[in-house]
Structure 1
Amino acid sequence: MHQSFDTPGPTSLYVEIGSGDVQIRVDDTAQTTVEVTGQDAEDTTVEMRGE
């Protein structure tokens, strides 16, 4: 599952997982991209909150 959001300002991240690993890569860009892999990846909820 792959999803992108326009985030021109400062961005914060909250992750809640039952098990597995989280990898975060930070770039100086105005877009945030979330990629979820693994079993049942399509059942994952990804949300952008705020402005």
Structure 2
Amino acid sequence: MYEVENLTLAIFGFLLNETIAEGLARQDIIETLQKIGEELANGTFPITKFLTQANV
């Protein structure tokens, strides 16, 4: 489980950097990250399927 948490944090960091690089406003970044968090929590975020298939 520790590996999944590290990978999740790495992905989260990458997505945060990408949203900032795209020049999104503060509120847009917050909303995007909230949506990602909700999708990760309920298992619908695209990386979830990949991680499940990889048995990470």
Q: Bigger relative contact order, structure 1 or 2, given CA contacts below 8 A and separation 6+?
A: 1
The TM-score, its normalising length taken from structure 2, stands at: 0.26
Q: Which has the higher helix share?
A: 2
Q: TM-score, normalised by structure 1?
A: 0.27
Structure whose residues are more often strand by fraction: 1
